[in-house]
Amino acid sequence: MEVKQNVKSCDFQDKDRMMDALSSQKFLSGIYNESLNEAYHTPVKNCFSGLLNDVHRTQEELFAVMNERGWYPVEAAEEQKITAARQKFAAKG
């Protein structure tokens, strides 16, 4: 049986691949975080902690490249909103 691939139906661009990779990293982050919270034994916790840190680094690198290429733009926060957030969380501390 011969399997034919329709290449045109899988015509992903670099941006699509990067967005897919970033989404995957975000998903893994949630899984590893929950696993870390649920783990009981220290070696297992350490393993999940290392995996979570790796995922965060990869996510940061992917975001930086996407942002640099204009595929994931971020607007700077207004100073007034930053000050309000600081005051809000400082009051809870």
Question: What are the tens digits of pLDDT across the range 66-75?
Answer: 999 999 999 8
Q: What is the domain count for the chain?
A: 1
- The reply to whether 41 falls in a domain is yes
- The reply to whether 67 falls in a domain is yes
pLDDT in tens, 3-46: 566 556 677 899 999 999 999 999 999 999 999 999 999 999 99
Q: Which residue range forms the structural domain that includes residue 67?
A: 12-92
- The reply to whether 7 falls in a domain is no
The model carries a pTM of 0.71
Only one residue has tokens 């995957």, namely 24
